[in-house]
Structure 1
Amino acid sequence: MKYCSLCGATVSSKVPQGDNVMRYVCDACDTVHYQNPKIVAGCIVTWQDRVLLCRRAIEPRYGLWTIPAGFMELGETANAAAARETMEEACAVVEIDDLFALYNIPHVSQVYIIFKAHLNAPEYSPGEESLETELFSVDEIPWEELAFPVVSAALKRFVENRDETPHRPFVGDIIR
């Protein structure tokens, strides 16, 4: 960051008074510019005993499988973001059931919020960011072709705990 988004003056990297972390601070108006993690919201979507996955049509990890997920927009709730991303990537309308897991991924400054969701009908198709979409039984999940470690971790946890009632949300870390 070179310039203040508030007044346009240059910024310097320093520890603001009362803080203990280096931040960008405007040299003119003293506005502190925080660099915060990005929130990613997604769903493990089911239809009967199958899981909906999307084959990525974009980088990073083009051609590999993932759950529908993406960055939250300003003014959006996490569950609304997860449902929107599912519509965008899989052209599927879902009902959000429960919070499934929260994964901290500090090395890429992301926090994943993953919900369990279900289709009311097996209606889905690839959106612009997907090459294809498919429902997989747990025995058919393409484990070696999953796009990201967080997707692998979430799906493994889902498979291992899918019959847990009531479901308790999981909090974990993906560390490099």
Structure 2
Amino acid sequence: MENGETTAEAAARETLEEACAEVVVNDLFTMVNVAHINQVHLFYRGHLREPAFGAGEESLETALFAEDDIPWDDLAFRSVTLCLRHYFEDRAKGSFTLHTADLPPL
């Protein structure tokens, strides 16, 4: 986060920097404590403002996937995997709730 920035503003900025995508940030969806590396990962639900995205300076590649096509073994961060699993579980239930988790070291 930058000074004076809310977590939602940081999420939008990071998405623009890493995925070259402008997003509308909605509600906080998942908070993952990654204490062994002194980090907290916050994930928000939201949507693309326009159907445009790409790899930013810190990303090797970006893509959109249907649920059945997600390359689970290739995701870079365990917190992303956890968040996506929560998302698809909640979507199947028809209701989204806030999730929290502690991610242990490997």
Q: Does TM, normalized by the shorter one, top 0.5?
A: yes
Please tell me the residue identity of whatever aligns with 2:5: E
Q: Find out whether 1:94 has 2:34 as its counterpart.
A: no
Pick one of 81, 94, 100 that aligns with 1:152.
Answer: 81
Which has a greater percent of strand? 1
Q: Gaps (5+ residues) in structure 2?
A: none
Structure 1 residue 167: Cα displacement: 2.1
Q: In structure 2, what is the equivalent of residue 175 of structure 1?
A: 104
Query: Hey, what's the Cα distance between the residues in 2 that align with 1:108 and 1:143?
Result: 22
Query: Hey, what's the Cα distance between the residues in 2 that align with 1:165 and 1:136?
Result: 20
Count of residue correspondences? 105
Higher relative contact order (CA 8 A, sep 6+): 2
Q: Gaps (5+ residues) in structure 1?
A: 1-71
Pick one of 131, 134, 152 that aligns with 2:60.
Answer: 131
Q: In structure 1, what is the equivalent of residue 50 of structure 2?
A: 121
Q: Deviations over 1:8-49 (max 9, x none)?
A: xxxxxxxxxxxxxxxxxxxxxxxxxxxxxxxxxxxxxxxxxx
**Please, what is the CA RMSD of the aligned residues?**
1.4
Structure 1 residue 122: Cα displacement: 1.2
Q: Find out whether 1:77 has 2:6 as its counterpart.
A: yes
After the TM superposition, which segments of 4 or more aligned residues of structure 1 sit over 3 Å from their partners?
Answer: 163-166
